[in-house]
Chains A and B, each alone.
Chain A
Amino acid sequence: GENVEQHPSTLSVQEGDSAVIKCTYSDSASNYFPWYKQELGKRPQLIIDIRSNVGEKKDQRIAVTLNKTAKHFSLHITETQPEDSAVYFCAASFPSNFGNEKLTFGTGTRLTIIP
């Protein structure tokens, strides 16, 4: 079935250090992997995504890596800042029984940046 596991559930890092969040997925047919950021009391918003034909993608201080063989992908945030404090969700696409695909989300990682 569709399953996305995300670790760790909570993460605290010193400001300026790097943070890494990891996800694994169950279906080798998954081909799209977005990451969403949810600030306290706000809506989840897409911050970066990667498709299965790419191993790494970077956008300023944020990067995502994908290992299709191992079925895991990771979010890397470098030079962390207080505004990076939020809950981060990974997601993976899964073939649906209804002829299209749908996203399944991980359970989230609460990232706290310590000033």
Chain B
Amino acid sequence: DAGVIQSPRHEVTEMGQEVTLRCKPISGHDYLFWYRQTMMRGLELLIYFNNNVPIDDSGMPEDRFSAKMPNASFSTLKIQPSEPRDSAVYFCASSFGTGSSGNTIYFGEGSWLTVV
């Protein structure tokens, strides 16, 4: 398996523009996670899905952020409108099980977002 695949790897956009980040989890994994990484706050869990259903979105910072998982092999994280403080690395990750029960969480390479 190629692992968790994310796109784009790098994106620079202007404030106010819509940003869509994409993720393909590892085949067979039933959990998908979106994390945001910044120097100040480290790795923050934004939202996670189980069998394509959003379970916990309490980490989503505000209504400008939304995530979908239309099927088992694809998820998107959308920011609309984007702001400079959204600049971060966004990681998608997947696991078989929640990751908290001993099932390894596998991370993608990350999407490096810069909002100017």
Q: Contacts A101-B98, A101-B101 known; A106 to B42 CB distance under 8 Å?
A: yes
Q: A102-B48, A103-B105 are in contact. Are A44 and B98 (CB under 8 A)?
A: no
- Tell me the residues in window 41-58 of chain A with beta carbons closer than 8 Å to chain B beta carbons: 42-46, 49, 51
Query: Counting CB contacts under 8 A, is A100 at the interface?
Result: yes
A108–B42 touching, CB < 8 Å: yes
List, in ascending order, chain B residues with CB within 8 A of A43's CB. 91, 107-110
Point out the residues of chain B lying under 8 angstroms from A32, CB to CB.
Answer: 100-102
Does the CB pair A101–B105 fall under 8 Å?
Answer: no
CB-CB contacts of A81-112 with B at 8 A, as 1s and 0s?
00000000100011011101111111110000
In the complex, B81 has a CB within 8 A of chain A: no
A45-B107, A46-B105, A102-B56 are contacts. A93–B42 as well, Cβ < 8 Å? no
Which size class do B's interface residues fall under?
Answer: 20 to 34
> In the complex where A100-B55, A101-B98, A101-B101 touch, is A42 in contact with B109 (Cβ < 8 A)?
yes
Q: Does B80 contact A (CB under 8 A)?
A: no
Instruction: Return the contact of A105 from the options B43, B50, B101, B109 (Cβ within 8 A).
Output: B43
B99 at the interface (CB under 8 A from A): yes
Which residues of A (4-41) have their CB < 8 Å from a CB of B? 32, 34
Question: CB-CB < 8 A to A89: which residues of B?
Answer: 42-43
Q: Which of B42, B56, B108 is close to A97, meaning CB atoms less than 8 Å apart? A: B56
Q: Within the complex, what minimum Cβ distance (angstroms) separates A107 from chain B? A: 4
CB contacts (< 8 Å) of B55 on chain A: these are: 96, 98, 100
CB distance from B89 to the nearest CB of A (A): 9
B15 interface residue (CB < 8 Å to A): no
Among B42, B58, B100, B108, the most chain A Cβ lie within 10 Å of the Cβ of B100
Binding site for B on A (CB under 8 A): 32, 34, 42-46, 49, 51, 89, 93-94, 96-98, 100-108
